[in-house]
Chains A and B, each alone.
Chain A
Amino acid sequence: MSLAERVLDGDIRAAARLMRDIDDRFKSAVEELKTLYPHTGNAYIIGITGPPGAGKSTLVDQIVAAYRKRDLLVGVVAIDPTSPFSGGAILGDRIRMNRHADDAGVFIRSLATRGALGGLSRSTMDVANVMDAMGMDVIVIETVGVGQDEVDIVSTAHTTVVVMVPGLGDDIQAIKAGILEIGDVFVVNKADRDGAERTARELTTMLEMKHPDDDGWFPRVMKTEGSRGVGIEELVEEFDAHRTYLKESGALQRLIEERNAKVFADTLRDELFDSVMSAISANGTYQEILTGLRDRSTDPYSAVQKVMAGSAFT
């Protein structure tokens, strides 16, 4: 049996190995993903982003528990940064969620960014697809949270959750404008701390300025206490509300279409680059171009045009 067939058969080790093949960019993984593709598109994907230490993993743990109470199967993809110095990584999100490790209804996978900059790893979407094909009802993705431009999560998740903490004070003005645009739900976690109410109010005000009563979705600000599980039921109900909105408003269809287009474009870009690059490397053109650039007998623009003129597309 192929890995993909074993995944569909419920084989956990096969799923874990396929995720590794995807992460390590094995060519064989593409074939397996083709087999799985018809079995995907069923899971509801929630993205959790926010600054380091805001309590993202703690919330993921509680959200998993809440969905398990509803008897749903839950997958988690947790991303932490790769060290630029060694290429290694310490993936520590699991510390907060490992009580679910031996629950057969939960599958948790930690991934390293491996140089990707948008808050996810390159492999995240495909790893989530494997979980989808495994039959997970809900998939929760925790982004890296180092204050990068965590925008990739928006095109990956159905519902994007931005987690903040009290005491941002005046800093809240300095929050990158982008963060207000990406959230479908905002969470002020660590509500046990001073200033939670104020932070929530300020956030709400800023959101009201951003979204002057349009008829679409207005992101609410929820307060939680991840470490004690306070406010989680309400949070999960808000996810339900957003999901219903997506379905009923037609926004879900738009989201899916945008994502399909993006996945296709990304894949095409990668494939074209890889195939052109390996072709010109193999026939010596690449070395010639580098030599030409060195003695300035050619320029990068002409060199690319020449390569493109030799391809089947122009």
Chain B
Amino acid sequence: MAERRVRVLVGKPGLDGHDRGAKIIARAFRDAGFEVIYTGLHQTPEQIVSAAIQEDVDCVALSILSGAHNTLLPAVKEILVEKGAADIVLMAGGVIPEDDIPGLKKAGIAEVFTPGTSTETIVGWVRDNITPHA
């Protein structure tokens, strides 16, 4: 009877105004049966983490096309850890050079999806890797 619905926060940190990708991901997640909290543009890492905690999401999914991923993504991860929410998975996508991905993974970003990835692949990854909080 009681069954968890996957909850995901989709947002865009920093000054980046490219929101097509984030909206496509939000819709794909909704169509996969997830509850998506869409926080929109221009979010600070602090706002993202606070929202993720208040919404009790299983996963934070950020879209970055501005080139600021190497600072913004690790910042979000750090604040998650600081606030006792390290169990919330952090994933990302957007225009992110392949060369940067190993460094991001080392910083605790679980997966990074670049342009051209199908939404099926992304939804499939979430299904395989995100278990809703007990």
Contacts and interface: CB of A to CB of B under 8 A. Distances in A.
Is chain B a partner of chain A in the same complex?
Answer: yes
Interface of A: 12-13, 16-17, 19-20, 23-27, 83, 85-92, 94-95, 98-99, 101-102, 107-110, 112
A85 B30 CA distance: 10
Given A13-B53, A20-B133, A98 B39 contact: yes
Contacts of A87: 5, 33
B50 A90 contact: no
B54 interface: yes
A83 B27 CA distance: 11
Contacts of B5: 23-24, 87, 112
Interface stretch (B41-49, B59-67, B89-97): B41-49
B3 interface: yes
Given A25-B2, A90-B36, A101 B54 contact: yes
B56 A102 contact: no
Interface of B: 1-5, 7, 26-27, 29-40, 43-44, 46-48, 50-51, 53-56, 84-85, 133
Nearest to B29: A88
A88 B34 contact: yes
9 contacts: A86-B32, A87-B33, A88-B31, A88-B33, A92-B40, A101-B46, A101-B48, A101-B51, A110-B37
Contacts of A16: 53-56
Central interface residue in A17, A87, A102, by most chain B CB within 10 Å:
A102
Given A90-B30, A98-B40, A24 B54 contact: no
B36 A88 contact: yes
B27 A90 contact: yes
Contacts of A24: 2-5
Contact of B35 (A12, A19, A91): A91
Contacts of A20: 4, 7, 56, 133
Nearest to B31: A86
Contacts of B51: 94, 98, 101, 108
A89 B43 contact: no
Contacts of B84: 13
A18 B54 CA distance: 11
B86 to A, nearest CB: 12
Contacts of B37: 91, 94, 110
A88 B56 contact: no
A112 B35 contact: yes
B4 A102 contact: no
Contact of B33 (A12, A25, A26, A86): A86
A96 to B, nearest CB: 8
B2 A89 contact: no
A12 B84 CA distance: 11
Contacts of B47: 98-99, 101-102
Given A20-B56, A88-B31, A107-B54, A95 B38 contact: yes
B38 A91 contact: yes
Q: 5 nearest interchain CB pairs?
A: A95-B40, A88-B30, A16-B56, A101-B47, A101-B50
